Amino acid sequence: GAGVSQSPRYKVTKRGQDVALRCDPISGHVSLYWYRQALGQGPEFLTYFNYEAQQDKSGLPNDRFSAERPEGSISTLTIQRTEQRDSAMYRCASSLALGTDTQYFGPGTRLTVL
Amino acid sequence: AQTVTQSQPEMSVQEAETVTLSCTYDTSESDYYLFWYKQPPSRQMILVIRQEAYKQQNATENRFSVNFQKAAKSFSLKISDSQLGDAAMYFCACLPEYGNKLVFGAGTILRVKS
């Protein structure tokens, strides 16, 4: 079946603007995760959802970052008042269930803040 | 807290030869899962192989196999009969049994020479 999809694939914005990044997980996957990956580094955890419940947001860098998954499927990561340091690849992953199941990643959204 | 270390920033291999990528990790969890992900130039994040720490048998997937040494906290990836399409960044990652955050290493760039 279809894998994890993310949109947009590329986003260029000006400093101070808000951006919304979308993730559509694999159908039937209960858990959804957001990671951020700087160039030349491994992904770092931001937050995750089990169904619609956000169960861990300890990786969100500050209160400009928020995420939601209102119906337990599609998720949106929102960054308010973007700063240049927010530029990175934002990756979404989903797994069939919480914990031990393999996380499958989407293609990522490359965010550039000018 | 968990840490994952990939000590080889870059590796090269001749086509059809075998290469081993190193990974060490540290975790206080009694049970956990280990992964290798491949990131080709397209920057997709593709699962290569998964190992459950409670299993003594090393995981294999076609030309990919691991050498899992639990006592040494070592989890290396062996690629046999290397192909040009294997050229990518490879990330080692650890997931605790009841956790949700994948912790990644910094990655190893693999170059395949024809």
Q: What mean pLDDT comes out for the span A74-95?
A: 97
Kindly state whether B44 is in contact with chain A, defined as any CB-CB distance less than 8 angstroms.
Answer: yes
Taking all residues of chain B, what is their mean pLDDT, rounded to a whole number? 94
pLDDT in tens, B42-63: 889 999 999 999 998 999 999 9
Residues β-bridged to residue A90: A36, A109
- Contact criterion met (CB below 8 Å) for B25 and B4: yes
Nearest by CB to A43, from B95, B97, B104: name it: B104
Structure-block tokens of residue A4: 């994890």
Q: What is the DSSP letter of A38?
A: -
**Quick one: which of A104, A93, A111 has its CA closest to A35?**
A93
Nearest CA in chain A to B10: A40
Between chains, do B106 and A41 touch, taking CB under 8 Å as contact?
yes
Q: What mean pLDDT comes out for the span B99-108?
A: 92
Taking all residues of chain A, what is their mean pLDDT, rounded to a whole number? 94
Structure-block tokens of residue A85: 């340091």
> Residue A1: pLDDT above 60?
no
> Residue A99: pLDDT above 70?
no
Cα end-to-end distance, chain A, whole Å: 37
pLDDT in tens, A26-44: 999 999 999 999 988 999 9
Nearest by CB to A98, from B91, B93, B100: name it: B100
CB-facing half-sphere around the CA of B73: CA atoms within 13 A: 16
Nearest by CB to A107, from B33, B37, B44: name it: B44
Measured from the Cβ of residue B92, the count of other Cβ atoms closer than 10 Å reads: 28
> Residue A55: pLDDT above 70?
yes
- Chain A partners within 8 Å of B47 (Cβ): 102, 104
- Quick one: pLDDT band at residue A98, thresholds 50, 70, 90? low
Out of A68-82, B13-27, B43-57, least confident range: B43-57
> What percent of chain B shows pLDDT beyond 70?
100
